[in-house]
Chains A and B, each alone.
Chain A
Amino acid sequence: MKQEPKVRNQGTETKAGIVGMPPLAVIRKLNEERATIFDLDEPIVKKNMEDALPFLPRVYCAVLRTVVLNAMNLDLDLIYIDVGAGKCDSALHVAAVLRHYLDIPVIETRNSDTHPFGTVVCRSKMDLLKKMELITGGVTKTKPPNSTLPACIPTAGFWGVPPRDFSLLTVFPKTTHIYGWTRCMENKTPADIKLESHYNSDIPTVFFAQSFCAKTALAKLLADKHPHGLFVDADVTAGSSAKAKIQAFLELSGVSV
């Protein structure tokens, strides 16, 4: 049965939801149309995660449960959902769920963009949380967030996707370099598995993935291969044990936080 959106869009401006990183051509088109873009991967709607239960199992990626929660409660006109190598197989199935319950176009995309935009923010000296916000904020734009930030010498590494709960990032030092899919995000090449698999073996690195995400396999593999890596997964919120684990790992590895 179709789900009636909670608030109907009364205006004329197009409200577009995006999931993952749709191709640059899609973002460019939405920007030219002056559409308001909502990054559905991020917690926008302040609702209990349990409200996603009618649509998705409880044991499912928290980012995709967030997507569904947003999509069901925002007054959107259409959704572009990236599926395949640039996102994950689960997004493909979530696209089917959204299409079933919503009465708006749910358009699947497969981002195979290869033009590199650079990874300046990933290598800069700044609070990790702030860096992550800059990178995820860039998903609605067709230009890199900032090209003037100087690179710093890294003392720690964060590999992975932007976590559902950004508070996980507060325990890292400013000199943390970002790797994994987040680096691909800034580079605007989300399907670049070679870039995603890249890490710096000279610095202690936390390999993070959302619990129940297929990327946990890659995160664990790379953490095992890395001479000084720690695999961490977290579900909806970053619990105190996940943060304490990272904190202890950095401290015991001699990283000044």
Chain B
Amino acid sequence: MILADFGTSYCKLQDLEQPGEEPRIIPTSKIDRKMRVTLATGHNGRRFTDHYVNELTALARGGESLIGKESYVLLDCGSRDIKFIQYEKGKLKDMGWNTECGASMGFTIELLERYYELDYNKMEVPDRTFSITCGVLGMSHIFDSITTGVSESEAVASFVKGIALNAYRFAGSPETLFLSGGLCANTLFVRSFPCKVITLGRFVLLKGLAETARQKGIKA
């Protein structure tokens, strides 16, 4: 049984019949367009499967399975969008999916690292924060800042911190935040949140698909 999270920049695939095997990460541009999988999620996922699972549902099911708490907030930061699920006393309390004003945050962060040849895992969280609601629009802050003599790395770090703060507010400013998505591996981003952050990695949606398959009795 193959599960797949077809993201904007990367696709994550897991074969449940190969226990112990780590999910594979493949750039979306390299995906075989004729591929078929058992269950899929992600905004590119519908064309690859007969069992498509809504991304928020997959996130919630993955969170339920990994977090094991009655009350929590789980935020997923992807290339293209951000989404969150809030549970209180075992019941869905709130949710959000921002594809417009939160657009391209993850994508822009990755783009900037490559363009300026930076390593986010070696950068410090700056004092300064840019007020950012959108990855694309927020870039002008970086360029403006650099023209005033601020280093490229500090300007980008302020941008990343601004994105983290925006995502934190979007998720309802919780005291503790469970974080999923590729940005979990970006220590600058994770340390920029003004709250306790517990990272769950980038395979939470796959976990949610596995849980959905189990609940609905879907077989390969």
Contact = CB atoms under 8 A, between A and B. Distances in A.
B38 interface: no
A122 B54 CA distance: 28
B57 A252 contact: yes
B95 to A, nearest CB: 6
Contacts of A202: none
A248 B81 contact: no
Contacts of B43: 240
B100 to A, nearest CB: 8
Contacts of B114: none
Which interface class (under 10, 10 to 19, 20 to 34, 35 or more) fits A? 10 to 19
Contacts of A241: 81, 97-99
16 contacts: A228-B91, A239-B99, A241-B97, A244-B54, A244-B97, A245-B56, A245-B96, A248-B55, A248-B56, A251-B57, A252-B56, A252-B57, A252-B85, A252-B92, A252-B95, A253-B92
A244 B56 contact: yes
Interface in A231-257: 239-241, 244-245, 247-249, 251-253
A172 B95 CA distance: 17
A230 interface: yes
B156 to A, nearest CB: 28
Contacts, number: 40
A230 B60 contact: no
A249 B56 CA distance: 8
B94 interface: yes
A251 B91 CA distance: 12
A228 B57 CA distance: 17
Interface of A: 228, 230, 239-241, 244-245, 247-249, 251-253
Contacts of B56: 244-245, 247-249, 252
Contact of B54 (A230, A239, A251): A251
Contacts of B94: 230
Q: A239, A241, A248 — which one has the most chain B CB atoms within 10 A of its CB? A: A248
A249 B92 contact: yes
A230 B85 CA distance: 12
Nearest to A248: B56
B148 to A, nearest CB: 31
Interface string B23-61: 000000000000000000001000000000011110010
B99 A248 contact: no
A210 B97 CA distance: 17
Contacts of B97: 241, 244-245
Given A241-B81, A241-B97, A248 B91 contact: no
A240 B57 CA distance: 14
Contacts of A230: 94-95
Nearest to B96: A245
Contacts of A252: 56-57, 60, 85, 92, 95
Contacts of B60: 248, 252
Nearest to A230: B95
A42 B80 CA distance: 32
A136 to B, nearest CB: 27
A253 B100 CA distance: 25
Nearest to A249: B95
Contacts of A248: 54-57, 60, 95
A244 B55 contact: yes
B93 to A, nearest CB: 8
Given A239-B99, A244-B97, A252-B60, 15 more contacts: A228-B92, A241-B81, A241-B97, A241-B99, A244-B56, A245-B56, A245-B95, A247-B57, A248-B54, A248-B95, A249-B56, A249-B92, A251-B54, A251-B57, A252-B57
A16 B92 CA distance: 47
A248 B54 CA distance: 7
A139 B57 CA distance: 38
A100 B91 CA distance: 52
Nearest to B92: A252
